[in-house]
Structure 1
Amino acid sequence: MNNLNKYFDLFDQSRTSEQAFNNLINLFSEDITFILNGKKKEGIHNWKAFVTKIYEENVDLKHMYEGWLSVEGTDTYQTNWAICGKHKSGKVYTQTGKDIAKLNDQGEICYLENVPDNTDLFKGY
């Protein structure tokens, strides 16, 4: 659960800190499965590429989240989140959604599903 609690802060910090980026990547298993708008991607190399692309497209991001809760009857956790961002074009935006995650036996995030309320959010990823 500790890795989930670090996730959003490190994601925001990793835009300007190589150490935070490395710490963020270390939260995840090598064989991470992540879902963006229903599209499945696998492997830490694809996760790194996704994070890098987010920061190529945005000059600033700030996440807020409600806290990770265990989903009854499953091995998953879920949180609602909101983000405020500034695209490289200068346009500012907000977005809300939820994340669903699983941890492996080592406490690493091995599954992360991002479910934005606006499905256009990750159209190009």
Structure 2
Amino acid sequence: MDQNVTTIKRYFELSDLASHDSQALRDIVGLFSSKAVVEGANGFIADNPTKVATFFDHFFKDNQDLRHLCQVITGPAANYTAEWAVAGRKKSGQLFALHGFDTYRFDENQQICFLQVKIRP
């Protein structure tokens, strides 16, 4: 299997754990290169390792329980897209369900160097 596809699937597996597992959170951050850019669905852009770690720390503090399904699609020029659906519970207790698409690019070390998250209306 394509290593980048494996990394994307691992990202979603870890995302289901990271709200309650600090090692899973560290492992997610470790999937990203030191030059990674993350564009969150909320418009936040993390463009250095500290901002990437902070982005995920805040995300998993706000989203206390998550369950993802995903399907990875490979594209041209080392672009990958993951269609995903998630059900979860916010820190407030509010339940939610979302559907969206992530776009990924990888560096020569097979680390994520770009992630853009888009929620489908």
Q: Do they superpose with TM above 0.5?
A: yes
| Structure 2: stretches of 5+ with no match in the other structure | none
RMSD: 1.5
Letter in 2 for 1:117: R
Please state whether the residue corresponding to 2:28 is helix, strand or coil.
helix
- Residue in structure 2 matched with residue 88 of structure 1 by the alignment: 91
Instruction: Map 1:15-30; keep pairs closer than 5 Å.
Output: 15-30=19-34
Instruction: Map 1:2-41; keep pairs closer than 5 Å.
Output: 2-37=6-41, 39-41=44-46
- Residue in structure 2 matched with residue 122 of structure 1 by the alignment: none
- Relative to 1, partners in 2 of residues 1:39 and 1:51: Cα closer, same or farther, differing over 3 Å? closer
| Structure 1: stretches of 5+ with no match in the other structure | 119-125
Deviation per residue, 1:4-29 (Å, 9 max, x gap): 22111112212111221222111110
Structure-2-length-normalised TM-score:
0.86
Moved more, 10-19 or 105-114: 10-19
Q: Is 1:50 the counterpart of 2:70 in the alignment?
A: no
Deviation per residue, 1:69-88 (Å, 9 max, x gap): 211x3321001101111112
Letter in 1 for 2:116: E
Deviation per residue, 1:93-119 (Å, 9 max, x gap): 10000000011100101100001114x
Greater helix content: 2
Structure-1-length-normalised TM-score:
0.84
Moved more, 15-24 or 27-36: 15-24
Residue 41 of structure 1: how far off its partner (Å)? 2.6
Q: Provide the rounded CA distance (Å) in 2 between the counterparts of 1:24 and 1:36.
A: 15
- Residue in structure 2 matched with residue 64 of structure 1 by the alignment: 69
Q: Provide the rounded CA distance (Å) in 2 between the counterparts of 1:69 and 1:3.
A: 13
